[in-house]
Amino acid sequence: MGEWLAVSAVLLAPLSAWAQHDTPAEPSAAAPATGAKVFTPADFARFAPQTAYDMLAQVPGFTIRGADDARGLGEASENVLINGQRATDKAGGAAAQLQKVPAADVERIEIKEAASLGIAGLTGQVADVILKADRKAGGNFSWSPQLRPHFAKPRWLAGSISYSGTSGALGYTVSLENNPGRGAMGGNDYRILSPDGTPIEQRDQVYWNSFDQARVSTILKYGGNGPLQANLNLAYYPYWNRGDNFQRRVRVDGNHNDWNNRRRTFGFQYDISGDVSVPLGGGRLKAIGLRHFEHAPATYDQRTDYDSGAPSTGTRYGQDSKIGETIGRLEYRWKGGRNDWTLSFERADNRLVQRSSLASLQPDGSYADIPFPQGSGTVVETRYEGIAALSRPLSPRLDLQLAGGAEYSELAELGSADPARHFFRPKGSASLAWRPAMGWDASLKFERKVGQISFYDFLANQDITNDRENDANPNLVPPQSWELTGEIGRNFGRWGKTRLKIYNHWVEDIVDHIPMGVDGDAVGNLPRATRFGIQSISTIQFDPIGWKGAKLDADVGFERSRVRDPLTSTQRVISNTRDRWAELTLRHDIPGTQIAWGAGLSFQHYGLAYYLDEINQSWEGPYTSAFIELKDVKGLKVNFQVFNLNDGQVRNYRTVYSGRRNSAPVSFYERQHQMVGPLFTLTVQGKF
């Protein structure tokens, strides 16, 4: 920990970009909010931004944080607003909407402290992107093919096209995009060892995964600065996921074989969301509605063919899931003197309908069904939430926000003999935002938070890659936590800006793997756990030392966690915790030219993951990258990037026991160091 504290201390010295001074004034397109740090389009001209998102991504010392992936809308969590309002969709939020907004439509970007905004749920710095009231119609497009020389298929069809405009009080955006992914690794540095460390099997692997998600969407905004304001978001996106994990296995006992695992998923999602706000009784009433649905049928086939001519063995696992969510929410906000008040009430109905099948390969090539009723079922939840929030300035330099309320939920598995379960959980927060002196800002938040659980964990599922089954567990309960977060920011003017975040979480009923029955393993709850972490986000500007147009963005941090193991009763880390990371990006916009170049370093390290009969650890990298960017090629912006210049690899270590690891001996060790290879990406952006 000492070295990370030293790193954080260094990054809190003369580092990164401009300051933020915040007050609770309401933003508008006509004038910037008092106390906010304001960026205009001229501040981003050197980056030749094509969209509003391109501008936001270059705000010094600011990191875009997406909304929590949780059921319901709840309090705000995404640290991006548009015209002072949170996005009320669950299809990417404000950040995704800004990717479709032309850069020419941006009036300014304001950076403020969350406690000064009167919007419950936000923490730390928040960006408010103010769009021009009178915007010209126009469009953006991008194309981003990617090639990998090893294992993966090319990515030719990554791109998007969008068109935005206004007609009177109506603003509209239509878009079509494809968001593909190509994952791959391989090689023969893959060994299986006996309990005494002797090699017993060598594997040569080729793994690839190909994902494509098309999306067509429409965003309608009505009202402008008028009394009646409304938004409607429509999105439909089919997706295709195909993957193959082939391994040639050579064993010391001579039982050589070809092992293959294939995955296929062809599904779709749609999202419909909207809101209407009107003046009422000295305040504003907003009604929000949302409907989300996903159909995700998936098939997994694992097959082993033996060199000896013995009959092939294998397993086929199918999972057909339908996930639906319907949300209704009311918010009423008014101002009384120096106080901003907000009352909110929400109902969310969620449903998972899943049908699973399991079959084994027979010697004649057919498949025989294996009874697997615990993998099928219908899980439903109805949840109500009510929150009252107060925001007010305590002084010209100090803002306070208080929020309190409760959540009530009813959770059931239809058709089960177990009765529906009911939960009542209080929740709330207290936040302070302080600006002690010019160039300094700080915030402190103490929160009682109610987590959520995955419906999939109620039902049994199979991991045929690692020969592991998770049992059904109808007794899961949502975790709760007390969370304390402090942030301090320092503006060094021309040198840049830095921000240090320290957090500590005390978690109850944390979700982990627990024993079920004699030898079962299920996702369940452990009584208590803790998390502690430090994160530093900085931007260093090199203009003061004569390197004009150069900057370094840095995001480094670590996390420590503790939980009591359900088998050994000893303290250990929470499974699969990201325990340290570093993201560094150097960019140089060469003065007097339309050329930029840069380099990056990415490192993400994860701790051990604990199952009842296994301990494993997986992580990748570090990875280095470099890019060159031409900002005006006949009106187009062209970026070419090479990723993984240093030949970073994937590492996976497994220790598998013959039974529960607190009493059974080790069965084997698995050691995997696999090549990823370089990635070559060309990105072309333009507008029309």
Which of these ranges, 62-71, 209-218, 460-469, has the smallest mean pLDDT? 62-71
Kindly tell me if the per-residue pLDDT of 5 is higher than 60.
no
Span 450-477, average pLDDT: 90
Strands 649-657 and 679-687: unpaired
Q: In what order do the strands lie in the sheet with 80-82?
A: 37-39, 106-113, 125-131, 80-82
What domains can you pick out in the chain, each with its CATH number? 2-647+665-687 (2.40.170.20)
- Helix ranges, 201-280 (H): none
Question: Token pair 């690899």 is at which residue?
Answer: 649
Kindly tell me if the per-residue pLDDT of 35 is higher than 80.
no
pLDDT in tens, 105-114: 999 999 988 8
pLDDT at 294: 97
Q: Which residue in 211, 209, 193 sits closest to 201, CA to CA?
A: 193
- Written as six digits, the tokens of 28 are 């508008």
User: Interior CA angle at 451 toward 447 and 457, to 5°?
Assistant: 165
Span 188-211, average pLDDT: 97
| 3-class SS string, 638-654 | EEEEEECCCCCEEEEEE
pLDDT tier, 16 (very low <50, low <70, confident <90, very high otherwise): very low
Question: Token pair 């009384």 is at which residue?
Answer: 336
Query: Residue 556 in contact with residue 533, Cβ under 8 Å?
Result: no
pLDDT at 152: 92
Cα distance from N-terminal residue to C-terminal residue, the chain = 51
For the chain, give the percent of residues with pLDDT over 90: 81
- Helix ranges, 99-199 (H): none
pLDDT at 225: 76
pLDDT at 3: 39
Cross-strand bridge partners of residue 336: 339
Burial letters 63-83, b for 16+ CB under 10 A, else e: bbbebbeebbbbbbbbbbbbb
pLDDT at 639: 98
pLDDT at 353: 98
